[in-house]
């Protein structure tokens, strides 16, 4: 059996070790420990030493960097090491911050480690924007290793959110449907259609609704393929294969500036670097590329 593709951010070396979460704050505040490893995040992205290869900091490294250990999130363990995400503010010379997409597209981090960077970026982002209780408005406090916020006024507990997005590889025979979104920087960039799920929908419902809204498309079948954590800020991209009833489409001009059927041969050519076909496909950071690769080179489907 073929292994499913592994989109960017979908692999992690960590065991999340939920059993350590209740006590990990005490461990962290009790002083330096040679097992501790920290991923540091500023608003602009993950932090590393200028020109350095690794993104991990030890307690010794942290001595020169202002931080609050009470804001650390426990990511999990690997071997004897314990991994934490830590927000930092002002950075001195010799330190740089990098956007996660850049790390992927420039191969700066092994694929096997990208998942923990996505995990860290999403949960730290959630803490940054959820400082107050959604029920009573009081300031909340971080708890359970950073995997919960608690309200001291009303007792409510709040948990990190994940926002599911359906992304559809739509096919009809040897053709697949690609769209160019209004928010794409390049008017030549085409990708699989996608949209946020809404409360009360199944995954299949969401796929049918999105394709009806954006493309006026009639759907014959929907099947799950594979998924990707997408840390902007905390989506889950649910990759689907959709068979269309026919090739009749009607573009939603509020969302899209282009919508077209493309042959498998054309998709292969562009994936292999052809620049003369009039359109581009997403880079390897996006699950859309994995979906297109899986279809373009499938022995038959």
Nearer to Zn ion, 138 or 298 (CB): 138
Taking CB under 5 A as the rule, does residue 154 contact Zn ion? yes
Instruction: Name the token pair of 153.
Output: 């006024």
Considering only residues 13-52, where is the footprint of Zn ion by CB under 5 A?
Answer: none
Nearer to Zn ion, 29 or 136 (CB): 136
Nearer to Zn ion, 102 or 136 (CB): 136
Cα distances (Å, whole numbers) of residue 38 to 21, 27, 87? 16, 14, 10
Nearer to Zn ion, 133 or 191 (CB): 133
Buried b (16+ CB within 10 A) or exposed e, 173-193: eebbbbbbeeebeeeebbbbb
**Segment interacting with Zn ion (CB under 5 A) among 33-41, 73-81, 131-139, 276-284:** 131-139
Taking CB under 5 A as the rule, does residue 135 contact Zn ion? yes
Q: CA-CA distance, 46 to 271, in Å (whole number)? A: 29
**Segment interacting with Zn ion (CB under 5 A) among 22-30, 152-160, 216-224, 271-279:** 152-160
Smallest distance, Å, CB 142 to Zn ion? 15
Nearer to Zn ion, 91 or 156 (CB): 156
Smallest distance, Å, CB 73 to Zn ion? 21
Q: CA-CA distance, 54 to 164, in Å (whole number)? A: 31
**Segment interacting with Zn ion (CB under 5 A) among 51-59, 105-113, 133-141, 254-262:** 133-141
Smallest distance, Å, CB 132 to Zn ion? 8
Taking CB under 5 A as the rule, does residue 133 contact Zn ion? yes
Taking CB under 5 A as the rule, does residue 136 contact Zn ion? yes
* Number of Cβ atoms within 10 Å of the Cβ of 146: 26
Taking CB under 5 A as the rule, does residue 156 contact Zn ion? yes
Q: Are strands 163-172 and 235-244 parallel, antiparallel or unpaired?
A: parallel
Considering only residues 239-258, where is the footprint of Zn ion by CB under 5 A?
Answer: none
Number of separate helices (H) and strands (E) present in the chain: 7, 15
Q: Is 252 exposed, middle or buried (0-12, 13-18, 19+ CB in 10 A)?
A: middle
**DSSP secondary structure code for residue 105 in this structure:** H
Residues that bind Zn ion (CB under 5 A): 133, 135-136, 138, 151, 153-154, 156
């Amino acid at each position: 059996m073929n292994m499913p593709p592994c989109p960017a951010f979908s692999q992690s070396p960590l065991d999340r070790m939920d059993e350590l979460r209740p006590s990990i704050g005490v461990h962290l505040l009790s002083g330096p420990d040679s097992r501790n490893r920290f991923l540091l995040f500023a608003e602009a992205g993950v932090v590393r030493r200028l020109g350095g290869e690794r993104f991990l900091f030890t307690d010794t490294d942290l001595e020169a960097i202002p931080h609050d250990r009470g804001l650390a999130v426990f990511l999990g363990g690997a071997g004897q090491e314990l991994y934490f995400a830590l927000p930092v503010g002002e950075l001195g010379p010799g330190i740089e911050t990098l956007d996660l997409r850049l790390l992927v597209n420039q191969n700066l981090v092994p694929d096997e480690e990208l998942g923990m960077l996505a995990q860290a970026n999403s949960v730290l982002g959630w803490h940054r924007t959820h400082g107050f209780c959604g029920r009573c408005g009081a300031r909340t406090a971080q708890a359970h290793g950073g995997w919960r916020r608690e309200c001291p006024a009303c007792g409510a507990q709040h948990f990190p959110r994940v926002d599911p997005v359906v992304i559809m590889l739509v096919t009809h025979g040897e053709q697949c449907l690609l769209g160019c979104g209004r928010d794409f920087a390049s008017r030549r960039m085409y990708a699989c259609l996608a949209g946020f799920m809404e409360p009360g929908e199944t995954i299949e419902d969401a796929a049918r609704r999105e394709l009806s809204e954006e493309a006026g498309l009639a759907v014959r079948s929907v099947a799950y393929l594979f998924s990707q954590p997408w840390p902007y800020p905390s989506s889950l991209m649910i990759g689907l294969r959709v068979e269309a009833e026919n090739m009749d489409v009607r573009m939603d001009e509020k969302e899209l500036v282009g919508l077209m059927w493309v042959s498998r041969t054309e998709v292969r050519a562009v994936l292999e670097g052809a620049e003369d076909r009039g359109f581009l496909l997403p880079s390897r950071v996006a699950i859309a590329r994995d979906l297109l690769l899986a279809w373009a080179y499938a022995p038959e489907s």
